[in-house]
């Protein structure tokens, strides 16, 4: 897997624990219609939109949702 993918999974695990990788994989496959290994920096902004929406559905802390999203978005630069 790419370094970008691994970094996104690591960030997600900070908020979701071991479920972070499965969460990221599902977002990439279902919303970006690609395999995780095909993820590119230009995909990150769209991925962040879906991460933010999906996390907000089950997270009790909007600040954590925004923090996670911003950390992932920084990887696009």
| Residue reference for tokens 């972070």 | 20
Rounded average pLDDT over 43-62? 94
Angle between helices 62-73 and 44-58 (to 10 degrees): 170
Question: What is the SS3 string spanning 40-63?
Answer: CHHHHHHHHHHHHHHHHHHCCCHH
| pLDDT tens profile 5-22 | 999 999 999 999 999 999
Tell me the C-alpha distance between 77 and 30, whole Å.
Answer: 24
Q: Phi/psi of residue 34, each to 5°?
A: -150, 170
pLDDT in tens, 20-35: 999 999 999 999 999 9
Q: Does residue 39 sit in helix, strand or coil?
A: coil
pTM (two decimals): 0.93
């Amino acid at each position: 897997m790419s370094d970008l993918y691994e970094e996104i999974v690591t960030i997600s695990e900070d908020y979701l624990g071991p479920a972070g990788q499965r969460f990221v994989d599902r977002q990439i496959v279902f919303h970006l219609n690609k395999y995780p290994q095909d993820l590119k920096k230009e995909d990150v902004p769209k991925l962040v939109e879906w991460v933010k929406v999906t996390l907000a559905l089950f997270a009790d802390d909007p600040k954590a949702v925004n923090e996670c999203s911003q950390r992932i978005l920084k990887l696009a630069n």
